[in-house]
């Protein structure tokens, strides 16, 4: 008799015939023994031999059926006829093993004399009871085991599909993030070169030193933008270098300060997220203003463990830059230089979903205040990792 959990694992061609019985478990053997004891107890009143003899016969039959079912399930696929599914082979193994194993039991009892076996009506009746019971229970339990095996395979297949779907979604998000990142670098480079071009066209003597400093800055900063583990400290270093460079260009009109808790420097941070805001503050806030202004950068930890980055300038503001009124989130129209902001919003959305937020407000009396709020590190699980 077969226990209900005898569903064999999927065989592999490499397993070969040597592994036909390799997957038997102690639990399946123990359950086969338990069923044999129950069947022997039920059939014992019908037999003349004592209970131990009947139990020995049912135990032998149960082990044979278990081994036959298991061996048929482990047979390599290439050894099966093309028209025969594996489950059919396992059921045929039960159908053949039940009478053959019972016949072996009674041939041993009759000393190998087949004629003596069939001349005794009591022996024939015992053979019929044991073989019939083993056949019926074996088929029922085998069908149950096959059904559970098929159900387990279906669940495994569904899990594999779900895993592949998540992998594809992750790869698509990573590809989109890489595309957005690739757009940031040339955007920053072209905007910075435009600032230097203004100096060159005006014939300023600072054009040469500024251009030289810019070259050195880009040579040092650009490789860091592709760092696989960017940190807030790296980003703040780039922001300070950029503001120093712009201060060389506008020594009388630009003032700046960067304040950040040193404990936050090691936190992972999307590259150029803060630099984009600083660049916009200089280009669209301070540069159009005749009297110039100040850029303040502040990095703080939020009470919930997240990050808050603030870039505020005292420049002309969004109205002065000829752009839309106050912007809050992606629903509003971006101001001048909106390519960088739109790209930044898309990157934050790809990395953190709705857990991150970028807001723009106009402080009194003029200027622009940009804030980035990032979720705590333990709330970023399940979102796309930083590039």
Name the pTM for this structure.
Answer: 0.53
What gap in Å lies between CA 387 and CA 383, rounded to an integer?
12
Q: Which two tokens stand for residue 8?
A: 């064999």
Preceding amide of 365 cis, omega within 30? yes
Query: Going residue by residue through the chain (387 aa), what tens digit of pLDDT does each one get?
Result: 444 444 444 444 444 444 556 667 788 888 889 888 998 888 888 888 888 988 998 999 999 988 888 888 887 777 777 787 888 888 999 899 999 999 888 888 777 777 777 777 888 888 888 889 888 988 888 888 888 888 998 999 999 998 888 888 777 777 766 666 666 666 667 766 776 777 777 777 777 777 777 777 777 666 666 666 788 988 898 888 888 888 887 888 899 999 998 889 888 888 888 988 998 898 888 988 888 899 999 999 988 888 999 999 998 887 655 443 333 333 334 444 467 788 888 888 888 888 899 999 998 888 999 999 999 876 554 444 444
Q: Output the CA angle 281-368-302, nearest 5 degrees.
A: 95
Nearest to 96 by CA among 63, 125, 121, 69: 69
Q: Which run of H or E residues covers position 177?
A: helix 121-201
Instruction: Please check whether residue 219 is in contact with residue 255, taking contact to mean a CB–CB distance below 8 angstroms.
Output: no
CA dihedral 49, 51, 52, 55 (to 10 degrees): 100
What gap in Å lies between CA 129 and CA 380, rounded to an integer?
66
Instruction: Please check whether residue 217 is in contact with residue 188, taking contact to mean a CB–CB distance below 8 angstroms.
Output: no
Q: Which run of H or E residues covers position 323?
A: none
Pairing of strands 368-374, 293-301: unpaired
What gap in Å lies between CA 369 and CA 386, rounded to an integer?
25
What gap in Å lies between CA 212 and CA 108, rounded to an integer?
102
What gap in Å lies between CA 226 and CA 220, rounded to an integer?
12
| Sequence-ordered list of residues with C-beta below 8 angstroms from that of 357, at least 6 positions apart, any chain | 329, 348, 371, 372, 373
pLDDT at 7: 43
Nearest to 258 by CA among 314, 296, 302: 296
Q: How many CB atoms lie within 10 A of CB 38?
A: 13
What gap in Å lies between CA 236 and CA 242, rounded to an integer?
10
Beta bridge partners, 308, equal 300, 373
pLDDT at 284: 86
Q: Which two tokens stand for residue 308?
A: 């808050």
**Count of residues for the chain?**
387
What gap in Å lies between CA 277 and CA 373, rounded to an integer?
13
Helices (H), 225-337: 232-249, 273-280, 317-320
């Amino acid at each position: 008799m077969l226990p209900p959990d005898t569903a064999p694992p999927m065989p592999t061609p490499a397993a070969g015939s040597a592994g036909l019985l390799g997957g038997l478990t102690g639990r399946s053997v123990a359950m086969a023994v338990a069923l044999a004891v129950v069947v022997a107890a039920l059939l014992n009143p019908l037999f003349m031999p004592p209970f131990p003899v009947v139990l020995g016969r049912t135990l032998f039959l149960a082990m044979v059926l278990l081994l036959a079912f298991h061996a048929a399930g482990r047979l390599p696929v290439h050894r099966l006829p093309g028209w025969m599914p594996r489950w059919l082979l396992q059921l045929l193994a039960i159908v053949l093993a039940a009478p053959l194993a019972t016949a072996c039991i009674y041939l041993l009892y009759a000393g190998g004399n087949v004629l003596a076996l069939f001349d005794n009506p009591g022996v024939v009746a015992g053979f019929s009871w044991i073989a019939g019971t083993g056949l019926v229970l074996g088929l029922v339990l085998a069908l149950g085991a096959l059904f559970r095996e098929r159900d387990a395979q279906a669940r495994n297949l569904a899990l594999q599909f779900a895993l592949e779907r998540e992998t594809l979604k992750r790869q698509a998000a990573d590809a989109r993030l890489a595309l957005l990142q690739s757009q940031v670098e040339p955007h920053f480079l072209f905007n910075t070169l435009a600032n230097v071009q203004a100096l060159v066209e005006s014939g300023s003597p600072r054009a040469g030193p500024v251009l030289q400093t810019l070259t050195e800055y880009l040579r040092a900063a650009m490789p860091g933008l592709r760092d696989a583990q960017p940190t807030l400290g790296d980003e703040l270093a780039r922001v300070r270098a950029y503001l120093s460079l712009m201060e060389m260009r506008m020594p009388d009109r630009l003032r700046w300060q960067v304040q950040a808790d040193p404990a936050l420097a090691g936190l992972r941070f999307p590259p150029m997220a803060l630099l984009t805001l600083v660049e916009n503050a200089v280009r669209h806030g301070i540069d159009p203003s005749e009297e110039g202004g100040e850029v303040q950068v502040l990095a703080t930890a939020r009470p919930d463990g997240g990050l808050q980055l603030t870039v505020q300038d005292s420049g002309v503001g969004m109205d002065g830059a000829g752009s839309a009124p106050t912007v809050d989130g992606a629903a509003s129209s971006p101001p001048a230089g909106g390519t960088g902001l739109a790209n930044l919003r898309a990157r934050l959305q790809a990395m953190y979903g709705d857990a991150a937020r970028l807001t723009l407000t106009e402080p009194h009396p003029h200027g622009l205040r940009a804030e980035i709020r990032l979720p705590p590190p333990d709330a970023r699980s399940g979102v796309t990792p930083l590039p």
